[in-house]
Amino acid sequence: MTLNITLGLMEQIGDLAKRAGNEIMKIYNTDFAVETKADSSPVTEADQIAEDLITRGIQEGLTASYPIIGEEAFAAGKVPRDRIRPILACRRTGRHQKLYSEK
């Protein structure tokens, strides 16, 4: 498989990353709250906003051809189950967690 990445695509991705970084810093420059996900890992509003911005940016500005399941959306149960099927994966810690692949 050949992957053709153009300079224009690289610039779009870079701009998207910078916008997400700016949104993260707006929140990190405040007294922000840290919540805990079901797996005991931390999550902030900055994490969620950045993921939403990046996901929308990819789907609306680059391609909507592939489902995107971000870490925070997955943890919140926002998984498009009609397009994916569960598989079992082993993390580095040795614990098992459900991952998903396209149907």
41-82 pLDDT, tens digit each = 899 999 999 999 999 998 898 887 777 888 888 788 887 666
Q: In the prediction, which pLDDT does 84 show?
A: 62
55 is a domain residue: yes
Q: What mean pLDDT comes out for the span 27-52?
A: 91
In total, the chain counts a number of residues equal to: 103
Rounded Cα gap, residues 66 and 90, in angstroms:
24
The encoded tokens of residue 71 equal 């870490």
**Could you give the number of structural domains in the chain?**
1
**Range of the structural domain that residue 88 is part of:** 7-102
29 is a domain residue: yes
43 is a domain residue: yes
Torsion, CA 6, CA 7, CA 11, CA 17, rounded to 10: 60
17 is a domain residue: yes
Other C-beta atoms closer than 10 Å to the C-beta of 100 total 17
